[in-house]
Amino acid sequence: MPGKTLRILLRALLLSVVAGCASPAQQEAARIEAVTTAATPAIDACWAKAQTSPQHRALRPKMGEYSDSPTSAMKINREKATTTEVAQLLALQQDYLTPCRKIAVESAGKVDPSIVTILADSYAGADANYARVISHEITWGEFVTENQALVTQRRAALLAAGEALARALGKPSPQTTAARWQAEAALSHWLRRQQILLQSRPHARLIQCHYDGPVLSCAPFGDDGSPKN
């Protein structure tokens, strides 16, 4: 669940910030807590909408309730996606998952570029996995197994990043510009994965994110390059 992403980060930060820390560290921790606390309800609501969508309900026997907990039977399923299931997967990704990811990435942009990089890399991997299952390169079992691995990797990376941020709270960060460049590269890679996944879907809406100085903004645009609402 995307909201869990921010809670993992927040827990890592708060566990590392003790009462004796310097005031700048406490202030930065409070700022990050405010960002994550404000963003989590919107992300959770977005994900709840995805879970109750017709597409998710139809695909649940193959994918499970959550990506991090497919059953053993799901992981050994040798079937490949049917034409109907391919359409459902594309609609789920385009209409439900991508909007939730946009909220999560924008929120991460208010915390630190390293978090943006982790999310963008994970989402690019997820979209690549979707592309493989809809093109029948992999089975349902391989698809859900890879999804589970991606979630596990993302959580571990976020926990490590949260601990690193906690250690750096209140200290100068001369590598901020380089971290933004790395985040921009990860975001560009995610955009390319979206384009590959949705190349056969008419009027596809892609999410493009970029930094303007320290501010990250994301906006949907069409596969023809035009802005989308």
**Per-domain boundaries in the chain:** 45-154+179-222
Residue 88 Cα distances to 95, 123, 137, angstroms: 10, 18, 17
Cβ atoms of 221 and 228 closer than 8 Å: yes
Q: Output the pLDDT for position 29.
A: 76
Strand extents, DSSP E, the chain? 205-212, 215-222
Using CA atoms, how far apart are residues 63 and 70, in angstroms rounded to an integer? 7
Q: Output the pLDDT for position 145.
A: 98
Burial of residue 87, with CB atoms counted within 10 A of its CB: 0-12 exposed, 13-18 middle, 19 or more buried: middle
Model pTM? 0.87
Dihedral sign, CA of 67, 62, 100, 1? negative
Q: Output the pLDDT for position 3.
A: 53
Cβ atoms of 135 and 81 closer than 8 Å: no
- Convert the pLDDT of each residue in 135-153 to its tens digit: 999 999 999 999 999 999 9
Cβ atoms of 127 and 197 closer than 8 Å: yes
Tokens representing 142 are 């391989």
Question: How many angstroms separate the first and last alpha carbons of the chain?
Answer: 25
- Convert the pLDDT of each residue in 34-81 to its tens digit: 888 888 899 999 999 999 999 999 999 999 998 999 999 999 999 999
Q: Which residues of the chain have pLDDT under 50?
A: 1, 18-20, 224-225
Q: Output the pLDDT for position 28.
A: 76
Using CA atoms, how far apart are residues 10 and 32, in angstroms rounded to an integer? 8
Residue 137 Cα distances to 3, 76, 142, angstroms: 31, 15, 10
The enclosing H or E element of 141 equals helix 140-168
Using CA atoms, how far apart are residues 151 and 225, in angstroms rounded to an integer? 30
